[in-house]
Structure 1
């Protein structure tokens, strides 16, 4: 089923892999560390790193099961600590005391997203929902001059539970003064899709991060877009001349999923 555009009153954005081009940097840093572990090297280290990063998005931290299958029980705690340090700069007091430490992970904004955010902020209240630390996200948004566009920045410590639990989105909806069902969750992983659906929100998935088209569709994404900036043509009438004629606009780079 297509998106119900008339229902959308607020936007919730994932950060890494959606508006921030950080995923590959995180994977590269972790892969370099994993490469030094016994039994893992080369391409396998990158594959393991990518799977571990995805696992860290879940409440049960799927990295443990993955490393157990690889026979890496001994260094698992060290790996978990290392990954937390890489993914959540600023969560550790040592990092928050040193602002420069927040910039240790290289990051850029996804192409076209900065302009898109400025345009969409005139149409909808917006927030970010991330499993990283709020200070890191705040610093990233401030660096690109878009922090003031967001009503709330929801991070790992903002709510008791993280994605895919609906609590972060429920919190964001309250801050924006809308019902969860009036929100649109935008993200690059099945975790983001599951979060939105669990909260009763509509969802858009993007292919510029970790998720694949098949798995995002299977998770129930209402719409799958090739890039985050493609969202502008879906939500801004000025960008899509067919917008007022149909409730399911289809930009040239869009791939439809489930409701």
Structure 2
């Protein structure tokens, strides 16, 4: 397969490493996440906040998500542990009830694999939830690394997870790509010295993606194969 135009422009060949975010990049998971958030809120006697609101909160990990929902509904911090545990239990029981793979994810993964490009999955989702989702969609075997929020000492927007993978194969940072959907992914990519690709269809944390000055904004992952 010929080298796609963006990779050819940046590297003159295929990248040495491609790192992917999960939620909002490879899978549309907000419906199941919102169900779990609403579940713990109702347990606490609060009204559900719904999918549209939760969509604005996804991306910085489960702890941050729970705290944002608590703040939104005026729940006291002292109930955090109960809320967090209730969220984890509710989400674990419905990881893939409504979650869907985005368009052309498989096409991109297959093309990268065919051209011997190592891939990493780097997410701020708790690790216990990551592998089951990947296995449900039969894509776990594409990734040489699967890093959740609690895998290393730091998570995105720290560059540590990205650099951990690059250093493992002695990849040059300027020959690597991070593909995500949010400011969290963008900051991690910039700090690591990776090319910064953002998809426009994901969860943007209410941030204008154009303001992040990514190397590339795309509406569909297939654009990376053109």
TM-score range (shorter-chain normalised) is 0.7 to 0.9
1:208 and 2:201 aligned? yes
Partners of 2:183 and 2:44 lie apart in 1 by 29
Match of 1:138 in 2: 131
Match of 2:112 in 1: 120
Partners of 1:17 and 1:146 lie apart in 2 by 16
- More moved, 29-38 vs 123-132: 29-38
Shift of 1:141: 3.2
Tell me if the contact between 2:182 and 2:198 (Cα under 8 Å) persists in the aligned partners. Answer: yes
Partners of 1:158 and 1:180 lie apart in 2 by 21
Partners of 2:197 and 2:16 lie apart in 1 by 14
Partners of 2:132 and 2:69 lie apart in 1 by 32
> What residue ranges of structure 1 are gaps of 5+ in the alignment?
90-100, 234-259
Tell me if the contact between 1:27 and 1:49 (Cα under 8 Å) persists in the aligned partners. Answer: yes
Q: What secondary structure is seen at the aligned counterpart in 2 of 1:127?
A: strand
1:20 and 2:27 aligned? yes
2:85 to 75, 81, 94: 81
Count of residue pairs brought into register by the alignment: 215
TM-score by length of 2: 0.77
Tell me if the contact between 1:186 and 1:206 (Cα under 8 Å) persists in the aligned partners. Answer: yes
Shift of 1:114: 1.1
Q: What secondary structure is seen at the aligned counterpart in 1 of 2:177?
A: strand
Once superposed, what is the RMSD of the aligned Cα atoms?
A: 3.1
**Could you say if the C-alpha distance between residues 203 and 105 of structure 1 is closer, same or farther in structure 2, counting changes exceeding 3 Å?**
same
Any idea what the Cα deviations from partners look like across 1:175-208, whole Å, max 9, x if unmatched?
3430233211001111111111111111111122
1:56 and 2:49 aligned? no
Any idea what the Cα deviations from partners look like across 1:13-35, whole Å, max 9, x if unmatched?
01122112222321233234435
Partners of 2:71 and 2:205 lie apart in 1 by 25
